[in-house]
Amino acid sequence: MALDMASRTRRIGVEVIEPARLDAALKATGMTQSAVCRVLEIDAKTMNNWVNGRVRLHRLGWFAITHALGLPHAWRPGDPAPTHPAVAVPNDEPPEGTS
């Protein structure tokens, strides 16, 4: 008997990151979705689907995003955020030396 993805996710205990947590992380650091997409080399549609809850964001994706934003993996809305993200470029500006 085949299980749907939601059933398998619950059964094996995979942590799913809530869209509101991802949106709050972006806002707390002042990063745009497109800037994080460039750093992670992912499609903007993928990020938009995560933020809007159309696709589940699992722990591995969350770890990559928090690393790019300079946040600890356990970050929750309301926790302090760094003033300067670790990797990502704020406000969709290209990295220095590129055009």
Is there a contact between 91 and 39 (Cβ–Cβ < 8 Å)?
no
Residue 77 lies in a domain: yes
CA distance 37 to 58: 16
Q: Number of folded domains in the chain? A: 1
- Can you give the residue range of the structural domain that contains 63? 15-90
Q: How confident is the model at residue 80 (pLDDT cuts 50, 70, 90)?
A: confident
Q: How confident is the model at residue 1 (pLDDT cuts 50, 70, 90)?
A: very low
Residue 79 lies in a domain: yes
What six digits make up the tokens of 63?
Answer: 């770890």
- Report pLDDT for 90: 47
- Report pLDDT for 3: 46
Residue 3 lies in a domain: no
CA distance 94 to 8: 40
Check which CATH number belongs to the domain holding 37 and give it. 1.10.260
Q: What is the pLDDT of residues 10-59, one digit of tens each?
A: 555 557 889 999 999 999 888 899 999 999 999 999 999 999 999 999 88
Contacting residues for 19 by C-beta, under 8 A, at least 6 apart? 50, 51, 52, 53, 57
What six digits make up the tokens of 30?
Answer: 């002042």
CA distance 99 to 94: 7
Residue 57 lies in a domain: yes
Against a cut of 0.85, is the pTM above it? no
Residue 1 lies in a domain: no
